[in-house]
Structure formats: structure tokens, C-alpha cells
Structure 1
Amino acid sequence: MQRVSAVFGSALFFLVAPCVLAGLIPWSMTRWEFRPPLFDLDATRAVGILLIVAGLPGLVDSFARFALQGLGTPAPIAPTQKLVVTGLYRYVRNPIYIAVVAVIFGQALLFGDWRLLWYGALLWLFFHVFVVMYEEPTLKQTFGAEYESFRTNVPRWIPRLTPWRAV
């Protein structure tokens, strides 16, 4: 039953957070209408598509890992019981935030909208402050040495080239 509630909670939080932050808000800003390409380069649209295509599966995979392996959700009100250190978490500590920002930047490039670039940058800044001020201290307190080992070996924002394997 615990796994079922974790899956349900993660699915609900997915609709509330990433779908709103990377879907509803960008749509409300742009109505997903194409403007002239940024920097007057059509190639920026292709880069935008790549960012969206790269971000979405990573987002879904990370949410699934929180529910199925961590037995919780990414939401602070229903956190995981186990530290998740598999999948994309072997490369970077915050793949959900990176994926959300990648999807937003991808839309900015695809639709040629500078406002989305600013929105994505401000959202990343918010994520950074939240991670440093709340998430990392909470994870250290909750998971102790296990989190410290993870934190020491896996970067916060820029992915490592080879996967880290927990001992």
C-alpha cells in the first residue's frame, strides 16, 4: 500500500509542480505561438526541441524513482523514506529541477520568446536557493552519512561524465 500511495502522490505532485511550472505558465506567457527565432537563427528551434525531448523523459523517470524506490514523492510534505541514488541521480543531484528548466529553455528557443528565458533563469535561481537553504540541510539531517557520500560524489547542477555507484 505504501508504494501505491507514493505513486499516487508523485503523480499528483507531477501535475501540480512540473506541469504548471514547465507547461501551464509557459503556455500562459506565449500561447505557444511562434515568434521570430532567437538570435535570428532557425537552429535555435532545433536546440529547443532537443532540450524539451531530453528534459521530459528525465523528469518522468526521476518522479517514478522517487515513488518506486524512495517510497515517497518529490514534494517536501511527503518526502521519500529512502535516498534515491539511481538513474539520473548517479550523474547529478537535482535532475528534476534541471529537467524543468531545460523544458522551459527549450520552449523559449522553440517559440523564440525571451520572456521564457528570463522565467527559466529566475526559476533556476529559486531552485538553487531552495536546494541550498532547505533541501540539502534536510537531506543531511534525514539520511546522514549516506547523503554526505552522495553529496560528495555527485555534483549539484553540472552532471558528471561517469555514473557514481553508491557503496
Structure 2
Amino acid sequence: MRRVSAIAGSALFFIAAPGMVAGLLPWLLTHRYRLPWSTLPGLVPVGWVLIVVATTLLLHAFARFALQGLGTPAPVAPTERLVVGGVYRHVRNPMYLAVLSIILGQALLFSSWALVAYAVIAAAAMVSFVKFHEEPTLARRYGVDYEAYRRAVPGWLPRLTPWRE
């Protein structure tokens, strides 16, 4: 039953958080454009690749929280276990990186400097949230396990080889 509620909670949070930050808000910033492509056609494929790859990684990261951690990414319903598998073996913050990549992919797709500026603001907010809330909370909750993971896996620039516990 815990797994079912973790999956349901993660699905709801997926719609509420990344759906808003990487979906609704970018749409509101770009909906005035009639054509869903860039004025620089060479950037359209790059934008689509960023969006598709980042969305796949985001879904993978959300699944890890529900299936491995038995919880959600939402601070109000955290995981029971520290999630360190899959994409988390390469980088500690794959969800944030995926959301930013989706926004930047849309910026390329629509040639939107507004989305580039929005991505910079979103990145600053995410880094601040991680630094001042998330990392201290995880350190308190998971103790030495989190500290070992934090020392071995970078927060923002993925390591090429996966970390092994």
C-alpha cells in the first residue's frame, strides 16, 4: 500500500511542480508565438532533444522516489529511504537539472530570451532551495549515509561514471 500511495503522490507532485515550472509558466511566457518553432531552424532539433531527454530523466527520477524511496519528491511526503540509484548515481539533483533543461529546450524551440531569463531565475531559486533547505534536511534525516553520498556525487555537474555505494 505504501508503494501505491508513493506513486500516486509522486504523480500529483509531478503535475503540480514540474508541470507548473516547466510546463504552464513557459507556455504563459511564449503562448503569444503563433509558430511552435524557432526563427533559427537549426536550434529546433536541439530544443526537442533537450526536452525529450530531460523529460525522460525527470520521469525516471520521479519513479525512483516512489519505487526505491517509497515516498515523493514533495517535502510534505518525503522518502523513507535515501534515493541513490539510477540517475542519482551520476548527480544529486537530476530533477532540477531536467526541469531547467526542459525550459532551455523550449527557449531554443521558440527563440525565447524570456525563457532564458526565466531559466536563470528558476536556477537561482532551485540552487538556493537545495543549499538552504534540502541539503540540511537530508543531512538530518539520513545522517552519515547522505554525507557519504554528498561527498561522492556532485550536485549539479553529473559525473561520467556512476557512483557505487
TM range (shorter): over 0.9
Shift of 1:121: 1.0
What is the aligned-residue identity percentage? 53
Shift of 1:36: 7.9
Distance 1:54 1:121 in 2: 20
Distance 1:162 1:36 in 2: 35
- Is 2:37–2:44's contact at 8 Å kept on the other side of the alignment? no
Cα distance change on mapping 1:57 and 1:35 into 2, 3 Å:
closer
Shift of 1:18: 0.5
Q: Secondary structure at the match of 2:21?
A: helix
- Is 1:10–1:73's contact at 8 Å kept on the other side of the alignment? yes
What does residue range 18-97 of structure 1 map to in structure 2 within 5 Å?
18-31=18-31, 33-34=34-35, 37=38, 41-97=40-96
What are the Cα deviations for residues 20-46 of structure 1, in whole angstroms up to 9, with x where unaligned? 111111111111644884xx6432222
Shift of 1:149: 0.7
Equivalent residue number for residue 142 of structure 2: 143
Q: Secondary structure at the match of 1:110?
A: helix
Pair 1:112 & 2:111 matched = yes
| Greater shift in the superposed pair: 22-31 or 42-51 | 42-51
Instruction: With the length of structure 2 as denominator, give the TM-score of the two structures.
Output: 0.95
Shift of 1:96: 0.3
Distance 1:163 1:57 in 2: 18
Runs (5+) with no aligned partner, structure 2: none
> Would you say how many aligned residue pairs link Structure 1 and Structure 2?
164
Q: Secondary structure at the match of 1:157?
A: coil
- Is 1:52–1:102's contact at 8 Å kept on the other side of the alignment? yes
Cα distance change on mapping 1:138 and 1:156 into 2, 3 Å:
same
What are the Cα deviations for residues 36-81 of structure 1, in whole angstroms up to 9, with x where unaligned? 84xx643222221111011000000100110111010001011101
Distance 1:61 1:33 in 2: 32
- Is 2:93–2:155's contact at 8 Å kept on the other side of the alignment? yes
Equivalent residue number for residue 159 of structure 1: 158
Equivalent residue number for residue 134 of structure 1: 133
| Greater shift in the superposed pair: 11-20 or 43-52 | 43-52
Distance 1:33 1:16 in 2: 26
Superposition RMSD on alpha carbons, in Å? 1.4
Runs (5+) with no aligned partner, structure 1: none
